[in-house]
């Protein structure tokens, strides 16, 4: 069976930027990876879109409190 490709967009220029990151993490952590291939798209606070295999992990590591 071929996996269905799913795009997850997160971040954005909203004041809810951080909430979007955590929501995306929940989806990515819980989606059925046998059925779906995830493509991650990060939208920074200036509105630019970035695509990377592990974009969310990179962003969250950078934003974790010390």
- What's the rounded Cα separation, in Å, for the pair 2 and 66? 41
For 29, phi and psi rounded to 5 degrees? Answer: -70, -30
CATH of 4-63, one of 3.30.70.120, 3.40.640.10, 3.40.1480.10, 3.40.50.20: 3.40.50.20
Question: Quick one: tokens of 11?
Answer: 């971040």
Position 13 scores a pLDDT of 95
Q: Residues in the chain with pLDDT < 50?
A: 64-66
Position 65 scores a pLDDT of 45
Position 63 scores a pLDDT of 62
Question: Quick one: tokens of 40?
Answer: 């991650």
Position 51 scores a pLDDT of 87
Position 60 scores a pLDDT of 75
In the chain, domain spans: 4-63
Report residue 11 CA to chain centroid gap.
Answer: 8
Question: pTM of this prediction?
Answer: 0.81
């Amino acid at each position: 069976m071929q996996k269905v490709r799913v795009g997850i967009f997160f971040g954005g220029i909203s004041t809810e930027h951080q909430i979007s990151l955590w929501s995306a993490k929940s989806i990515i952590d819980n989606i059925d990876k046998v059925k779906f291939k995830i493509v991650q798209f990060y939208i920074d606070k200036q509105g630019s879109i970035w695509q990377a295999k592990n974009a969310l992990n990179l962003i969250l590591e950078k934003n974790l409190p010390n």
